[in-house]
Structure 1
């Protein structure tokens, strides 16, 4: 019986010339999807390279550096110790419900934006905080640290699109430490 089982395997193992195992049958057709995925990856890289950011790598900020914990009667609150963007309609929540305290001295509405090609600086209104490298919570709080991407109102500059429309908002990256300098100095991403 043992001899029979080995003899059967020998018959199965004989491979005919030109024959391909079942699991390799699809491998001839994979060239097209592979080419497509490579082109998609290439396009993504080109798009990423389109926005040359002045500060590509930024030091992360620890949470204890970011917030100062204040213990009140029954609850803990965090006071933001970094510069934040405060919109025109910003109002504080009632003290009972607020979790984060925004000191009014650290709230900014304008930035000194430098145009890299014109080599000029303009005082422009901030529209919003778009990306903070520290994390999504800082974006929702509107915190501006070194490396943050903000949107500024460039309608005063008179920039025009190829179609002839006036550009309203453009992105800029903060290149200084606003909490140390007392002003926000971003560079326009052109």
Structure 2
């Protein structure tokens, strides 16, 4: 039987971080910064207001969103939050979400944090238009769960004549 091979030499993929920053200008090379005086902490700062520079390129006017997209997005996000609150069955999301997204949300419901989620604000922005008609929109909203404010974002698309949620991220 041949002798076993010695283990290969392993190199570490971790290397120490080199301190490459020079000491602050005008401050001692070592030692903490002095504590500001109470008067300096309460000193008002006077700043002159300047007008913002004009944009180099004018903004294009976004095409108007169909009212149906806004109503659908509001309904869909509220229903998603109600399902995560366990106030509605997951099956009620099936007509609103594309199949892959439905499965992801259904699996997420079991791990949803406790507390009621309440939708606060919702905004839509056109994402895809054909001949001046909006076919997809980006949706972003805030909701509260307990004392915290959180975000939810997604995309709604007009698929086969019906609006559907095609992407969703719940924060």
Higher helix content, 1 or 2: 1
**Which structure has the bigger radius of gyration?**
1
Per the normalisation by structure 1, the TM-score is 0.25
